[in-house]
Structure 1
């Protein structure tokens, strides 16, 4: 199985980039992972929130194929514990899902068109985090999930 993290905009802060790279390097031992950063929209002051979401939707949906399993990281999504997330990923792999694409949207969330295409929605927390920080939190949880699947001692209960 391949995992892609699709983000709107680039990671800006070096400490976040370093953390993300740390976990991506570790993940190479478990799964093929790719991070795809879509360009941030320019001149957004003239656009409404809905217009921005619509333009971001075009960029997101261009990167997703018909066979991809699309998971939105969304505040309204299902909340899982780390072991539950590991089981979720394991079930996808055992169910012959070839490619899971996790998406972190822009500042206003997702357009309805993206919600319609999505196969699932997951929430990392009831709290609100910056989109920049969510990237690091997500790759750490992805790494944690694969260590749980492999029975390795990274996760403690």
Structure 2
């Protein structure tokens, strides 16, 4: 199974980028993994939040294929403990050809993207910046890989 992390816009903070790159490289030892970027919208000051979400949604939809299993990182999604997430990921790996996790822009997702998604997951009840979520998610994906393999990274 190929796993893709689809992001709206580049990661702005160099410290986040360094951490994301580190975890991405580690994840690649366990599964085919890549990060894809949707270009950030320009001149958004004149756009409403809804217009911005819809325009980002159109760009996201162009990248997705009908057979993709699409999982949104969303504050209203299902929450997991790390071990539960690893079990969930293992199940997905057995039934999906391509698993696409999507982290939207600062205002979330358009209705079209919510309708396309197969699932939504949440990293916490707390709110994080869409930039910070990228680092937290890649660490959790790496952690899940080590749990699946029975490696000592995660302590319970």
Matches of 2:18 and 2:108, distance apart in 1: 25
Q: Which residue of 2 aligns with 1:117?
A: 116
Matches of 2:86 and 2:52, distance apart in 1: 33
- Map 1:1-157 to 2 at 5 A: 1-95=1-95, 97-157=96-156
TM-score, length basis structure 2: 0.98
Q: Deviations over 1:43-101 (max 9, x none)?
A: 11111111101000001111100000000000000001111110111001122x11000
Secondary structure of the equivalent of 2:121? strand
Q: Deviations over 1:98-142 (max 9, x none)?
A: 100000001111110000000000000001111111000000000
Matches of 2:67 and 2:19, distance apart in 1: 30
Question: How far is 1:38 from its partner?
Answer: 1.0
Matches of 2:14 and 2:37, distance apart in 1: 16
TM-score, length basis structure 1: 0.98
Q: RMSD of the alignment, in Å?
A: 0.7
Unaligned runs of 5+ in 2: none
Matches of 1:47 and 1:28, distance apart in 2: 38
Matches of 2:90 and 2:70, distance apart in 1: 16
Matches of 1:107 and 1:29, distance apart in 2: 31
The count of aligned residue pairs is: 156
Unaligned runs of 5+ in 1: none
